[in-house]
Chains A and B, each alone.
Chain A
Amino acid sequence: MKKRALWIVLLCFGVMLYACKKESEKQDEVSTFSGFKKPGNFPEPQYKLANNPVTEAGFLLGRSLFYEPRLSRNNTISCGSCHIQSSAFTQHGHDVSHGIEDRLGTRNSPPIMNLAWNKAFMWGGGIFDLDLQPIAPITAHEEMDESVENVMVKLRQVSKYPSMFKAAFGSDEITTARFMKALSQFMLMCVSADSKYDKVMRKEAGASFTADEQAGYELFKAKCAACHTEPLFTDGAFRNNGLGPSPIDDQGLYTATLQATDRYKFKVPSLRNVSYTAPYMHDGRFLSLNAVFEHYNSDVQATPNLDPLLQQSSGTKGIVLSADDRSKLTSFLKTLDDPDFITRKELAEQ
């Protein structure tokens, strides 16, 4: 009888020890969270991090929300549906994105990448604060077709969320502002800065361009870098790159500003991870890099507000790109691929 009691006591201790161990393992996991870090070769972020410091709990909540289909009216579409990590958070293979009930949008899904350095959001601008961006896809008829108000109602009914909001913001209250800030925290962590290009620039051990890549880099600096500025590979500006107007006559930035000088201007996209993000342009009309080169070489059209950089003094339009140029540029552009970014487990749906 006494022996039995001893065994029970021992067993209890064992369970307690195990529980303790589990707790400490959890603690170990916590300590691996790196937080938001500015890569050494990047400028200061545009996002006001002081208003929303990235914490582990906030990031984890944001990740849950990013992959949460309850953000859509019929609980089928999440942010991750059109922003797929393996395609650098774009919707690979779709010219325009597919939303709720397979409704088609009018624009190509842009990457969730280095958004902390973005001054404006969306291909046609209109949104200037990452914390307010998610309202657009949530309420858009062809995307999630839901109201943020109703998303709040739905989230309050899911048992995990009140405690996640409490961990992130101190109380279990679920508000629009907290919801937006958590999503921002996840998106801010989607930093891509570990491509071969970055390693070369940071002079990391053993990193150097091949001859072709180096030649491509020189061509890039001469012919592309005025708009696709390093190190983000976009200057963040809105420009008309001479695409023929689409059948729906999308006029880009003009829609948001109603300034005639903004007609047909779209945001200059980053070229980082360009291998993973085809098709290209705001409406996904070009399926390959070669199609993009061909456009700049011979198909730039004189639509209103064509960017001056695409108008040569001789009167010809575009940028001359020989077959050799294209091959070298392609070699260089591939050095902007960041395999870690598209496989980092921390950013994946859990």
Chain B
Amino acid sequence: MKKILFLLAGVALLTSCSKNNDNVEPDFNESNLATLSVEFDNIVGDRTLTLNSTASPYTNAAGEKFTLSKVQYFISNIKVSKADGTTYTVNQDSSYFLINAADKDTRFAEVKVPEGDYTKISFIVGVDSLRSTMDVSKRTGVLDPSGSMEDGMYWSWNSGYIFFKMEGNSDVVSNDASGDPTGKKQFKYHIGGFGGYSAPTINNIKTVTVDLTTAGIARVRKGRESNIHMFVDLLKVFNGTNSFSIAAHPSVMFGDFSSKIAGNFAGMFRHDHTEN
């Protein structure tokens, strides 16, 4: 009987050992790629995001009640770093994602990176300038500029992508030309601008770097999928470093104020936890 118990304990030890082995970081090898998933989970302050939540609107720091009808943004150029500073840049052709709040499936950006333990992730909110000037044949998938005026993420008249689109409704929006003359009380934020082809203009490309050490590093291994779960707090669009009220800026597109809103992007992203 004792023998059997001893054996069992041994087996238990062995299995736990093998699990420990799994946690040993493999050597960094750029040809040994595994899947890493990055989840962009939209929230509004302390609440989850529900589009058109007219029954219970959200409130920003200015005390304005609002609902959201459309939230879409590009995440691109994902890079991951290890504690020793080794950094890996995801193959650029596979590093463009359009997160669309109306389609839950789009919240995961799945990329291939070498097996390893990552303590830091960085990405661009928007589309880099190089891709913004590339031949049309390189603009496939989410970068296809064929979307409609309503849902598209491309400015045809001023060639370039809309990096971040957020629309919604608030009673504070006026009915005159400075607000929404259609009387629908709609606010619209279409933020883009990659710096211009030849002549310089506004550049709202923002690189966001998120430290993963506090909420959990990403242990990327083949055969399983590490998921970096990020909260994207849309309330920070209004309440961030450059806070503003909907009443004062109900519609911001290609204009100088757009840079203030882009300045709030970095503060929106918060690492909640990692599922390894």
* Chain B CB within 8 A of A48 CB: yes
* Chain B CB within 8 A of A150 CB: yes
Contact (Cβ within 8 A) B254 A139 = no
Residues of B near A253 (CB, < 8 A) are 199
Question: Cα distance A148–B139 when bound, in Å?
Answer: 14
Contact (Cβ within 8 A) A127 B146 = no
Residues of B near A120 (CB, < 8 A) are 197-198
> At the interface with chain A, which of B103-111, B112-120, B156-164, B260-268?
B156-164
Contact of A127 with B157 at beta-carbon distance under 8 Å, contacts A135-B145, A177-B140, A181-B136 already known:
yes
Q: Which of B146, B197, B255 contacts A258 (CB under 8 A)?
A: B255
- Quick one: closest B residue to A176, CB to CB? B146
Contact (Cβ within 8 A) A152 B198 = no
Contact (Cβ within 8 A) A149 B147 = yes
Question: Cα distance A70–B139 when bound, in Å?
Answer: 23
Residues of A near B149 (CB, < 8 A) are 139, 141, 147
* Chain A CB within 8 A of B48 CB: no
* Chain B CB within 8 A of A211 CB: no
Contact (Cβ within 8 A) B196 A147 = no
* Chain A CB within 8 A of B137 CB: yes
Contact (Cβ within 8 A) B152 A136 = no
- Quick one: closest B residue to A147, CB to CB? B148
Residues of A near B152 (CB, < 8 A) are 139, 147, 149
Question: Cα distance A122–B135 when bound, in Å?
Answer: 19
Contact (Cβ within 8 A) A259 B146 = no
Interface centre among B136, B140, B154, B196 (most CB of A within 10 A): B136
* Chain A CB within 8 A of B142 CB: no
Question: Cα distance A128–B198 when bound, in Å?
Answer: 9
Contact (Cβ within 8 A) B159 A140 = no
- Quick one: closest B residue to A255, CB to CB? B158
Residues of B near A258 (CB, < 8 A) are 201-202, 254-256
Residues of A near B147 (CB, < 8 A) are 147-149
Contact (Cβ within 8 A) A122 B255 = no
Q: How many residues of A contact B (CB 8 A)?
A: 36
* Chain A CB within 8 A of B200 CB: yes
Question: Cα distance A262–B196 when bound, in Å?
Answer: 13
**Scoring B residues 199 to 222 as 1 if CB is less than 8 Å from chain A, else 0, what string do you get?**
111100000000000000000000
Question: Cα distance A175–B139 when bound, in Å?
Answer: 11
* Chain A CB within 8 A of B25 CB: no
* Chain B CB within 8 A of A289 CB: no
Q: Which of B144, B146, B199 contacts A257 (CB under 8 A)?
A: B199
Question: Cα distance A181–B152 when bound, in Å?
Answer: 20
Contact of A132 with B148 at beta-carbon distance under 8 Å, contacts A177-B137, A258-B255 already known:
no
Q: How far is the CB of A322 from chain B (nearest CB, A)?
A: 37
Contact (Cβ within 8 A) A152 B146 = yes
Residues of A near B32 (CB, < 8 A) are none
Contact of A128 with B133 at beta-carbon distance under 8 Å, contacts A135-B156, A257-B201, A258-B255 already known:
yes
Contact (Cβ within 8 A) A132 B136 = yes
Contact of A256 with B136 at beta-carbon distance under 8 Å, contacts A128-B159, A132-B145, A149-B147 already known:
no
Q: Which of A127, A152, A176, A259 contacts B159 (CB under 8 A)?
A: A127
**Scoring B residues 221 to 260 as 1 if CB is less than 8 Å from chain A, else 0, what string do you get?**
0000000000000000000000000000000001110000
Contact of A147 with B146 at beta-carbon distance under 8 Å, contacts A122-B157, A132-B159, A177-B136 already known:
yes
Within 95-146 of A, Cβ neighbours of B (below 8 Å) are at 119-120, 122, 125-129, 131-132, 135-136, 138-141
Within 10-38 of B, Cβ neighbours of A (below 8 Å) are at none
Contact of A148 with B201 at beta-carbon distance under 8 Å, contacts A127-B157, A181-B137 already known:
no
Question: Cα distance A120–B149 when bound, in Å?
Answer: 22
Q: How far is the CB of B32 from chain A (nearest CB, A)?
A: 33
Q: Which of B135, B139, B144, B148 contacts A150 (CB under 8 A)?
A: B148
Q: How far is the CB of A76 from chain B (nearest CB, A)?
A: 18
* Chain B CB within 8 A of A180 CB: yes
Residues of A near B202 (CB, < 8 A) are 258
Contact of A51 with B137 at beta-carbon distance under 8 Å, contacts A132-B145, A140-B157, A147-B147 already known:
yes
Contact (Cβ within 8 A) B136 A180 = yes
Question: Cα distance A57–B16 when bound, in Å?
Answer: 66
Question: Cα distance A139–B148 when bound, in Å?
Answer: 7
User: What 7 pairs between A and B have smallest CB-CB spacing?
Assistant: A147-B148, A148-B146, A135-B156, A126-B158, A128-B197, A136-B156, A257-B201
Show the binding face of A for B, using Cβ within 8 Å.
48, 51, 119-120, 122, 125-129, 131-132, 135-136, 138-141, 147-152, 175-177, 180-181, 253, 255-259, 262
User: Can you sample 19 A-B contacts with CB below 8 Å?
Assistant: A122-B157, A127-B157, A128-B133, A135-B145, A136-B156, A139-B148, A140-B156, A141-B149, A147-B146, A149-B152, A151-B146, A175-B144, A176-B139, A176-B144, A180-B136, A258-B255, A259-B199, A259-B200, A259-B201
